Structure 1
Amino acid sequence: MKTQLTEKDEGCVAKSVSASSVLQGESGGIDRANVAILMCTYNGSSFLREQLDSFSRQTLRNWTLYVSDDSSTDATRSILDDYRRRWGEDRLVVFDGPCQGFGKNFISLLKRPEVQARYYAFSDQDDIWFDDKLERSVDRLASLPEQQPALYCSRTRLIDAEGNPTGFSPLFSRPLSFQNALVQSIAGANTMLINQAARRVLLSVPENATVVAHDWLTYILVTACGGRAFYDSGATLDYRQHGGNLIGANAGFKDRVVRIRKMLSGRFIEWNDANLEILRALSPLLTQEARTILEHFETGRNLGLRGRLRELHRAGIYRQTHGANISLILAACLGRV
């Protein structure tokens, strides 16, 4: 997870969206393998060429890169202009971002009516994709019904600023579900691919909502609305760790300790408050099972110790690793959920 996001409507989606219009819809004749790569940039010239070159090497060729740049003052725009001349204007499309932080920049890009595809891949400006990233992602979702929201994500290989491998992101093996999504973000947005149905769900989020992180929110909403989420235990990209990262990979012991401290300090409560506000607003889109889980979760957060633990147990929430579950139980006991 790299960023914290807030919603900004660019006018292509109505404020009120019914469940049927969000979870259904026609493909409009878009080719089945067509992918829109969504990238937000800001002063990313140091590593941008390596990322763009990795797009060029993709085994799946039917993609278009959409970039929203927040008034970069370095060579970012000139690099993008260079690649647009080489690739063609239909291959790389650049927009001016809203200049209100990465979060609003990303949401503004997601909501642009010019951006249309069968699938949407989220990208950072400083990673290096493996050659088969898009092909593996699309293959996993291609057999699903088009009206069903779907999400693909994966593990990452970590590299330093010079591109040297330093390890991998945590490996998860438990099922992906709404009960897990409520209390844990499964993977970074830079690994994610969603289908058109999932995008419609994301676009129904109220424009004034506080979005903690778009990768976490994507996982929550896809699983809450009866969608499918897939986690690939194999890495699909090199995730660069450097001084400019907004949020790192959370792979080391020190990183995990910091996150546990944030959870117990009350930050986890704030994050859950923001996510629950969005879920309440989108209640008509949720499955009955998700609404029941959510009712137990919300009720438990407001009860005393015994009632809180009872309701959270009924909600069935869990995290992916033994250590993370211990920290979740501790947070529940202390009323920090």
Structure 2
Amino acid sequence: MTAWPEARVAVLLAAHQGRIWLPDQIQSILDQIGVSVTILISVDQSTDGTEAYVDHAALQHSNIRILPHGLKSGTAAANFFRLIRELDPEGFDYVAFADQDDLWDQDKLDRAIGQLRLRGADGYSGNVTAFWPDGREKLINKAQAQRRWDFLFEAAGPGCTYVMSRHLFEALQSFVSTRTGALGSVYLHDWFCYAFARANGFSWWIDPEPKMQYRQHQNNLVGVNQGWKARMGRFRHVSSGWWLDQARTIARLLGLESSAFVRSWIDPNKRSGYLVLVLNARNCRRKAIDAFFMSMMVLLLAIHPPSYETD
């Protein structure tokens, strides 16, 4: 435990078809040491008893709160954006994200908040230890040095590691609350939240020390890029232009079109923009191998760009 005053943390948990994993995930959050935790849960309509389970959990624990059921968003991002809009941050010092299927070390939040205080940062994410049903484990390292533009092209690690100061959260909440419709085109909430923080001058720390067990199973939304099936899925996202379209969407939402760098590639029909990204790939991804992969994929898009309609 740290010598800091006990922090009050709101944990935003988005659930969908998670009945089998939620008991362990919620218990690992309730077992956090050195902090005072309140869990706010939003359930995207499920058929496996998830709603009934979280309702029961809220009856058993006064620090578990449930948003009204009936949401049919269809995406984890929309579910998290709902949680961001609905949380009343009054009375909390920090806000964290949680998935429904992981296991948190007891000092996960205490470590994160200690690092935020020590470094004077507003946003935190960290490495994780992925684990599989067959007992395999693997460190997922996302803690490479941040680059000038990495926030437009990748998240700061798994969103389930994110912890934000109230100052950052309130700024994010204000933005999200006024752009509900536009955010419908954002597929990954963690990528967007990191981009929002960096684009608005908030300091972010990526911790090399893993403090959670990142469960891998066939229903993971993103998960670890392991195996040919996962790699091929990500290759299709990049080679189809989807990933770059998401970067353009986030850049526009954050009002970054006036930047000379963003302006050079924001128009998908401008072939020279792909070449700009190839030349600047090392400023766009934290890991060198990811920058190399990005440059190769974007070069393919420059040679064979996706077809876009013009107004």
TM (norm. structure 2) is 0.82
Which of 51, 63, 77 is the matching residue for 2:37?
63
Matches within 5 A, 1:63-142: 63-88=37-62, 91-97=63-69, 98-101=71-74, 102-116=76-90, 117-142=92-117
Amino acid at match of 2:85: K
Which of 250, 259, 264 is the matching residue for 1:299?
264
Alignment of 1:268 onto 2:240: no
Shift of 1:66: 0.6
Moved more, 95-104 or 32-41: 95-104
- Extract unaligned runs of 5+ from structure 2: 307-311
Shift of 1:195: 1.4
Aligned residues: 289
Q: Matches of 2:220 and 2:136 in 1, distance apart?
A: 16
Look up the SS of the partner of 2:149 in the other structure.
helix
Q: Matches of 2:236 and 2:41 in 1, distance apart?
A: 35
Which of 25, 42, 46 is the matching residue for 2:16?
42
Contact between 2:30 and 2:37, CA under 8 Å: does it hold in 1?
no
Contact between 1:40 and 1:69, CA under 8 Å: does it hold in 2?
yes
Shift of 1:330: 2.1
Alignment of 1:278 onto 2:249: no
Alignment of 1:191 onto 2:173: no
Look up the SS of the partner of 2:7 in the other structure.
coil
Look up the SS of the partner of 1:245 in the other structure.
coil
Shift of 1:178: 4.5
Amino acid at match of 1:82: H
2:289 corresponds to which residue? 323
Contact between 1:185 and 1:215, CA under 8 Å: does it hold in 2?
yes
Contact between 1:158 and 1:166, CA under 8 Å: does it hold in 2?
yes
2:130 corresponds to which residue? 158
Residues 44 and 304 (structure 1), Cα distance of their counterparts in 2 relative to 1, 3 Å cut: closer
For residues 279-328 of structure 1, what are the alpha-carbon distances to aligned partners after superposition, in whole Å with 9 as ceiling and x for unaligned? Answer: 12xx6xxxxxxx77x321222455544x7545775797331223211122
CA root-mean-square deviation: 2.8
Contact between 2:277 and 2:295, CA under 8 Å: does it hold in 1?
no
Q: Matches of 1:114 and 1:180 in 2, distance apart?
A: 30
Residues 330 and 314 (structure 1), Cα distance of their counterparts in 2 relative to 1, 3 Å cut: closer
Q: Matches of 1:174 and 1:309 in 2, distance apart?
A: 25
Shift of 1:256: 3.7
Shift of 1:177: 4.2
Amino acid at match of 1:167: K
Runs of 4+ in 1 over 6 A off after TM superposition: none
Look up the SS of the partner of 2:34 in the other structure.
coil
Look up the SS of the partner of 2:72 in the other structure.
coil
Look up the SS of the partner of 1:62 in the other structure.
strand
For residues 145-175 of structure 1, what are the alpha-carbon distances to aligned partners after superposition, in whole Å with 9 as ceiling and x for unaligned? Answer: 6xx7x2111111112247x343122x24532
Residues 70 and 64 (structure 1), Cα distance of their counterparts in 2 relative to 1, 3 Å cut: same
Q: Matches of 1:320 and 1:192 in 2, distance apart?
A: 17
Larger RCO, structures 1/2 (Cα 8 Å, 6+ apart): 1
Contact between 2:281 and 2:294, CA under 8 Å: does it hold in 1?
no
Contact between 2:8 and 2:93, CA under 8 Å: does it hold in 1?
yes
Amino acid at match of 2:151: A
Residues 38 and 173 (structure 1), Cα distance of their counterparts in 2 relative to 1, 3 Å cut: closer
Residues 310 and 54 (structure 1), Cα distance of their counterparts in 2 relative to 1, 3 Å cut: closer
Contact between 2:108 and 2:211, CA under 8 Å: does it hold in 1?
yes
Amino acid at match of 1:154: G
Look up the SS of the partner of 1:34 in the other structure.
strand
Amino acid at match of 1:226: G
Look up the SS of the partner of 2:96 in the other structure.
strand
Matches within 5 A, 1:235-254: 235-252=210-227
Contact between 1:68 and 1:95, CA under 8 Å: does it hold in 2?
yes
Q: Matches of 1:299 and 1:311 in 2, distance apart?
A: 9
Contact between 2:123 and 2:204, CA under 8 Å: does it hold in 1?
yes
Contact between 2:282 and 2:291, CA under 8 Å: does it hold in 1?
no
Amino acid at match of 2:146: L
1:168 corresponds to which residue? 139
